[in-house]
A and B are shown apart, each in its own frame.
Chain A
Amino acid sequence: QSALTQPPSASGSPGQSVTISCTGTSNDIGDYNSVSWYQQHPGKAPQLMIYGVTQRPSGVPDRFSGSKSGYTASLTVSGLQAEDEADYYCSSYAGSKSFVVFGGGTKLTVL
């Protein structure tokens, strides 16, 4: 069982917006602004999409955005495109003992 809880699946039609949630505890998401989101296509390595809750690395489209409220972080993908279909994982710093914890992943399907 993963430390952070994500829905196993999400879907949307091209052009629509979809939001993926990531729920943690006071020991991780609730205590640190160190939430990241990774995209992983089948057979490929993960790719960083969001860090520091809301920051986008260079090269990541501004259709991807992140937010946090309390113990829950969210990734929103606006203007869905076919290439956004992938698995998405959240992560958070969890202190010096647990270090970094991941969510179980959400499979995003573009209908």
Chain B
Amino acid sequence: EVQLLESGGGLVQPGGSLTISCAASGFTFNSYAMNWVRQAPGKGLEWVSTINYSGDTTYYADSVKGRFTISRDNSKNTVFLQMNNLRVEDTAIYYCAKVHFTSPRTYDSWGQGTPVTVSS
């Protein structure tokens, strides 16, 4: 059974930094791209970032480009999102999501999310 467990969320001041993690199990982690998707309070889903299976290719939404960095450690089955220069509008639940085997722009497994609150 696929399991994705996010951690590291919390309260941070505007301009601050935070790194969140997602520990994966139940599948061959180093064969799949991984993603972060966020959901602001009462709002819809927003794709944030994607990293390919090996970690050498990354993609970012324009809203976070230059501030967020996605990375992965395949030896520990973990994907990270380092968030710098955080803004109030980055407040959201951040979900880790695994891509579908045959449809790499589809997310077939999601974690329960970790909340990030940016506030003074």
Contact = CB atoms under 8 A, between A and B. Distances in A.
Contacts of B109: 48
A36 B103 contact: yes
A38 B45 contact: yes
Contacts of B68: none
B47 interface: yes
B59 interface: yes
Interface residues of B, number: 21
A50 B61 CA distance: 23
A101 B100 CA distance: 16
A38 B39 CA distance: 13
Contact of A48 (B44, B46, B100): B100
Given A46-B107, A92-B105, 6 more contacts: A34-B106, A36-B106, A36-B107, A45-B112, A52-B102, A99-B47
Given A46-B95, A51-B100, A102 B107 contact: no
Contact of A2 (B37, B44, B61, B107): B44
Contacts of A91: 45, 47, 105-106
A104 interface: yes
B44 A46 contact: no
A102 B103 contact: no
Max chain B Cβ within 10 angstroms of own Cβ: one of A44, A45, A91, A93: A45
B47 A100 contact: yes
B106 A51 contact: yes
